[in-house]
Structure 1
Amino acid sequence: MATGIPDVLARVTPHTDRLLATARALDDAAAPSLCEGWTRGHVLTHLARNADGLSALVRSAVDGTGETMYASPQARDDDIEAGAARPLHELVADVEASAGSLAQVLPRLGPGHAEQRLERTPGEFLVKAKNIPFMRLREVVYHHVDLDAGFTFAGVEPDLLRAFIAEEVRRLRALDPAPDLTLRTPEGDEWTVGVGTASVTGSPAALLAWLARGLTGGVAGDPLPRLPKGR
């Protein structure tokens, strides 16, 4: 997961602060989010438990605790479901506290930990330790958009948008079979998956919204290809 962007760690806190400001202003935490089947409460609870899980991975990398991000896929889902219906102030406090704890431990990751392979659940490979800050940044930005409360990918820094698109493209290329498409922006950016048969154009923000959430506003194709499900 080579991001190609500088100071990933330094961007986590500002984007978290922006998300918290949006969350505090929500009028209804039980309203649907952009994540199918999840309310905004589900999204906020997931963000809190994601921070806890990534903190566990940092401890595993630095202290050798052997912790995984989640005890099991079912435990992850159960924790999100259990916390989703809480009052807004409890949801926000949970996200803020868990994010604060993660922010304290992330700087402990150093070059000596970079290549350690860590597990999402027992026996399931997740990521190298060096990619944890980018993982958290991606979660915060994507789920800020998912709150469907005014923040969109258009509010994300251009270099970060391109890094997120590159990550989505990497995931598509890893599929078997991979779709054949070429993504283009008016600024001249281009990403190819497979042989690149289908052409999709749009701003970086619009392309990312399509890749990450299936939103078609601002993207064009002739026709617009259907992305594989279950990515």
Structure 2
Amino acid sequence: MVARRDLTTDPGLQEALLQARRGTAFFARKLNELSDDELDGDSLLAGWTRRHLTAHVGYNARAIARLVEWAATGVETPMYSSPSARNQEIDFGATLSPIALRNLFDHSAVHLNVEWRDLPDEKWSNQVKTAQGRTVPVSETVWMRTREVWLHAVDLNNGASFSDIPATILERLLADIAGAWKTRGTDTGLIVHVEENDARYGDVSNPDAVEVSGSLIAITTWAAGRGTIASASAAPAWI
């Protein structure tokens, strides 16, 4: 029997799902503000139009849904068959008619939402593998999608900014970025300071490190490569 509401009873997971759905709704609103002709315009991602970005977000929902199906059935269903297949999919999606492209986003979002909704509590800890090869509990897919829709709503280059993103999501995104820098060793000599909560990330034990300081919004915008901070160099790459 198909559930009418989330089968999970975990309050933390329910809150995480709510943030993912709010992000999806925000992306949908920014997308719907664009005319069909404006879909041909540039996104904030180099080399991608808004068409490419919308196709990517749509196909990403399908890919994440495959991970949830994997957790539900135990049958391995990878996000993508290969990195090249992912790229080809996006390039193809960018050629769709405007109505087909919008339908891709809408229908894939509904599909993912249903997969999440119908997954019972005991399945959420099942392990799946991301496109980057990380093995994670399927509950991690909620954050994967949350980050995707909120960040790419800004990338639509249609007036959204990091000030539209909830602070709790910005905090986790910044922690993800700092973690990626740490793994790659690209935070050497760099400290990032968030003024509101006095949090520091990076090479914090280095007394000679350069400190980049600002609000949570400003720091996360800069760290994600979507903005600048006066007197600071460009942030290290994180993806």
TM-score by structure 1 length? 0.87
Counterparts of residues 1-231 of structure 1 (less than 5 Å):
7-27=15-35, 28-109=38-119, 112-121=122-131, 124-125=133-134, 127-176=136-185, 178-195=187-204, 197-216=209-228, 219-221=229-231, 224-229=232-237, 231=239
Shift of residue 162 of structure 1? 1.1
SS at match of 1:182: strand
CA 1:225–1:113: 2 relative to 1, 3 Å: farther
Shift of residue 182 of structure 1? 1.9
Shift of residue 101 of structure 1? 0.6
Contiguous gaps of at least 5 residues in structure 1: none
TM-score by structure 2 length? 0.84
Q: Over aligned residue pairs, what C-alpha RMSD do you find?
A: 2.3
Shift of residue 25 of structure 1? 1.5
Alignment size in residue pairs: 223
Q: Is the 8 A contact 1:200 1:220 kept in 2?
A: no
**2: CA distance between counterparts of 1:83 and 1:183?**
37
Shift of residue 212 of structure 1? 1.2
SS at match of 2:192: strand
CA 1:32–1:56: 2 relative to 1, 3 Å: same
Deviations 1:97-156 (A, max 9, x none): 1001101111344554444432235x9335331211010010000110000101111111
Shift of residue 220 of structure 1? 3.9
Whichever of the two has the greater Rg, that structure is 2
Deviations 1:48-103 (A, max 9, x none): 11000000000111211100011110000000000113233222211011001101
Contiguous gaps of at least 5 residues in structure 2: 1-11
CA 1:129–1:99: 2 relative to 1, 3 Å: same
